[in-house]
Amino acid sequence: MNSNYKENLENLGRVGRLRTLKPLSGRNGCRIVYGGRAMLNLTSNDYLGLAGAKEIHHRFYAGMTDGNILDNFGLGAASSRLLTGDSDNAHRLEETLRLAYDREACLLYNSGYHANIGILPALLGKNDLILSDKLNHASIMDGMRLSSAQHKRYRHCDYDHLEELLATYRNSFERVIIVSESVFSMDGDVADLARLADLRSRFDCLLYVDEAHSIGLYGEKGLGMAEEQGQLARIDLLVGTFGKALASVGAFLLCSETIRGYLINHSRSLIFTTALPPVVLSWNHFIFKEMLTCHARRRKLRDLAAALRGELVRHRLPTDGSTNIVPVMIGEDRLAVVLAEAMQEKGYLIFPVRPPAVPEGTARFRLSLTADMAWADLEPVAAHIAELSERFRS
């Protein structure tokens, strides 16, 4: 049996798709130490630069006292929420999120992955249909597979195709749910939430939007692309995460009170897992309120992303999207690996993104910009990639 696993790993190595764990240390703002060298971190999801902000961490931990060290800063919940892992802090965080989004209810999950594999299977059964954007995150795909509902994928951001599927299949199912990310994690492009909401209303569907790569970055208060596009009230199930721009771990669902109660009783990834630790709940509450005030960070990040895209285009490097996730299309897996290693030699922490994370033939760099970077950090990046790409392709 082990020989089969070994052969698989050897095959992955031969085609440039072997993945390994990469220990990092020495975090200092947007820089981190890898392989003994300090590098500009272009692979992080710390979009607002909050995870690397020492001053913010000092302010958070300044609130720790002997009296609250366990309730607010403890390291273990030691049980699921449905047993003894629930807390006032969990409900306080849910209430803060609910009020910020002006929604009826909120429910915490341990991660975006827990949310996506727990919500869809709980809410949908064999008489239901899931219609999912083809480039939705793997956790959404896994949630569909765990559900007994039928599922189909529409072409990426092709809402005419989605409309065709709805016209064909809507009347054959009890419930139909449209599922999309708002900002797509590998291409950095954006869903048309108004069009999705229109289709949801026209065909009497539910609309499920994953805002993992959007929360903190868009909208007047940083509530995400749904706020930016004015669609918050038209989304039935809005999933957000703390693990990216909010510099933590955990996720939340904004929904109706009925859906919240139903999930508490039927969502297995909520019921059968240990609750988030007290310190995580306290930090999530603290950092969410901090995020609401990060207007300058949001503006700076948009400016940096626009400037880098301009440089990539000027150097004739294929890119896409419109967000702080800036892809650079390489194509061939092995070339992406070699170019990433060469960029690391120049002091840029870039890891190649290869299938199955992206479609075949679209290996790429996923340059992830953060608000604690300066333009001086980023200005040489496009020229370096262009020069190395020409060298290794010739």
For residues 285 and 341, membership in a common domain is answered with no
**Crossing angle between the packed helical segments 193-202 and 159-169, to the nearest 10 degrees:** 10
Is 114 a catalytic site residue? no
Supply the pLDDT for residue 1: 63
For residues 196 and 256, membership in a common domain is answered with yes
Q: What percent of the chain has pLDDT over 70?
A: 99
Is 189 a catalytic site residue? no
Structural domain includes residue 9: no
For the entire predicted model, the pTM comes to 0.94
Query: Quick one: CA torsion of 8, 11, 12, 15, rounded to 10 degrees?
Result: -160
The CA distances from residue 230 to 2, 217, 219, 241, in Å, are 53, 15, 9, 20
For residues 308 and 365, membership in a common domain is answered with yes
Is 45 a catalytic site residue? yes
Q: What is the mean pLDDT of the chain?
A: 96
**What are the start-end ranges of the H helices in the chain?**
2-14, 54-61, 88-101, 112-123, 138-146, 159-169, 193-202, 225-228, 257-266, 268-271, 278-291, 295-314, 333-345, 375-378, 381-393
SS3 254: strand
Domain boundaries, position 187 = 88-291
For residues 310 and 199, membership in a common domain is answered with no
- Active-site hit among 87, 132, 182, 185: 185
In this predicted structure, the answer to whether residue 134 has a pLDDT above a threshold of 70 is yes
Label residue 15 by pLDDT band (50, 70, 90): confident
Contact 255, 236 (CB under 8 A): yes
Label residue 357 by pLDDT band (50, 70, 90): confident
- Active-site hit among 72, 133, 187, 213: 213
Is 58 a catalytic site residue? no
Is 244 a catalytic site residue? yes
In this predicted structure, the answer to whether residue 344 has a pLDDT above a threshold of 70 is yes
For residues 272 and 336, membership in a common domain is answered with no
Supply the pLDDT for residue 14: 87
Is 137 a catalytic site residue? yes
241, 271, 291: which is the final residue of a domain?
A: 291
Supply the pLDDT for residue 333: 92
In this predicted structure, the answer to whether residue 388 has a pLDDT above a threshold of 90 is yes
CATH number at residue 143: 3.40.640.10
CATH number at residue 32: 3.90.1150.10
Structural domain includes residue 82: no
Domain count, the chain: 2
Is 221 a catalytic site residue? no
Contact 23, 224 (CB under 8 A): no
pLDDT in tens, 251-266: 999 999 999 999 999 9
For residues 383 and 323, membership in a common domain is answered with yes
238, 264, 291: which is the final residue of a domain?
A: 291
- Active-site hit among 244, 285, 300, 315: 244
3-state helix, strand, coil in the chain (%, to 5): 40, 20, 40
Phi, psi (rounded to 5 degrees) for 327: -80, 145
